[in-house]
Structure 1
Amino acid sequence: MAETSTAPILMISEPRSDYALVDSGLGRKLERYGEFHFIRPEPQAMWAPAKDDWQADGEFIPASDEDGGGRWHLNANVPEEGWQMDWEEVSFTAQCTPFRHLAYFPDMDPVWRWFRGNLQDLESPQMMNLFGYTGVGTLALSAAGANLVHVDASKKSVTAARDNAALSGMTERPIRWIIDDAAKFAAREVRRERRYDAILMDPPKYGRGPDGEIWRLEEHLAGLVEDCGKLLDGDSRCMFLTVYAVRMSALALGSLLNEKLSHLGGTIEVGELAVREEARGLLLPTAIFARWSA
């Protein structure tokens, strides 16, 4: 039986030379991505900003709730094809995407470091990254010696991930790049009786697979977690689940992991990811998580 800790844990992304949450407030945030500064909506920044004279190279202006979407307003000096950034040994291309992201989630920094700590004494641990996006996390763990299976339903995202591997000089690393529906792939891995030392899951609230499959977090997450639990065994080390932009509690995620991973023993913990603001040290919450470790 897994031991569940209900005391929330904070995993904080600190300001770095390549990225910083510079300031935040009144429903917006000012961030530095490499040499560029951007303003994006941030509903959780309910306080007043430290300064009111933000200077940025671009801003994402959301549309109305009825219309959804939105668009970037960028200065001419922001390269449309993106610009290079680095995370430890990993180089990657940051870019203003139509979904208001910049092809990289800096709040995952402490998550990747947590995996490195859990796997550091294993030789070539086997790891799966579901919903792997542009591959920064995959490459961060591969650089630390893990063998990776990177899964994402978006061909564009997997292409970007492979390009980032080339930019990092990591094309020869043992990484399988899979374009597939994450839930279907995990189910097939169960039927193939595969096992992993570690699994990272970063699912969206809603998504589509390459063949039109529909992903709805509230409907499909439990089945995916159950399958991932079957891919772990008594020698496995850890699993991490993050959830963004939903009305859900970290305690609910912890209870789900407790049900599906109870056969593994170990410890289940819950908490929040947050980014520390550079201006005042305020913590801006970004996601909830639940994690299991042996």
Structure 2
Amino acid sequence: MVGQAIAITLVTIVVFGIQDAVSKILVATYSPFQITMMRYWAFALFALWLVSRRAPIRHALRSRATGWQVLRGVLLMGDIWCFALALQTIPLGELQAITLVYPLLVTLFAIPILGEKVGIFRIGAVVAGFAGAMIIVRPGGLPLDWGVLFAVASATLYALYVVVTRKVSHVDSTATSMVYVGVVGLVLSSATGVFFWQPMGWNDLALVAVIMVTGCAGHGLMMLALSKAPASTLQPFNYFSLPWAILLSIFVFGHLIDPVSMIGAGVIVAAGLVVMMRERMKKVPAVADPSLPGKE
């Protein structure tokens, strides 16, 4: 079962990587807010459909932590917006490397929000991870522009989302969490995206359809993987998203990540793995939340 779960996780990462590559193509012509809105239409409908199969939606809306659930939806929507904005200027490989600092940020945010205690090993890993990010944006490396700031903001918002998800998982069901993410994101993305609407040709609409299909397929596969193995077992394999993003960047966009930036990316991955190892030793719970979109 674990072997199947790992294989499904790797396929999930491939699917989400394709979604990111197609999104990058589209945001070169259309507003990221429009593309995000259309992408979220499919995700929200998919989430609501899944929940409705188990229980009425009105039951899932009954939360013991409504404020935190709404905040989750806002944080995830902000993460997706920032990631889409970063796609406009940053190559996929470098963008994926920067956003992979989110497990390190989770460690930091869990201290004030969840009251977790963090030892010297995890603090050291966090510092090393940020050093890796600095290597990527060093002078002569990735230009320090708005794209980099959006990438950092994406990782930060996603880390906060994960921590808040851990918090509400103690009082609300997965169905409730999925409904709130779907509804809040649908409202925010649509209320914003309509102001950036541009008519689209059939070819571009076909690419939007690819984003919708890969988004739903990715979430479905992720849920299947989590049904076969714990999230803590599968989490390290999420780092496969980095080499996959680098390959897509080379073959789809003709961009090759430079060797020094590759070292920085390696430092970030190593630091994240150290954090995961220490959290497993300390038995810090990993949240298996099907509404997590995989760090795009």
Structure with the largest fraction of helix: 2
Tell me the TM-score normalized by structure 1: 0.29
Q: Structure with the greater relative contact order (CA < 8 A, sep ≥ 6): 1 or 2? A: 2
Tell me the TM-score normalized by structure 2: 0.29
Structure with the largest fraction of strand: 1
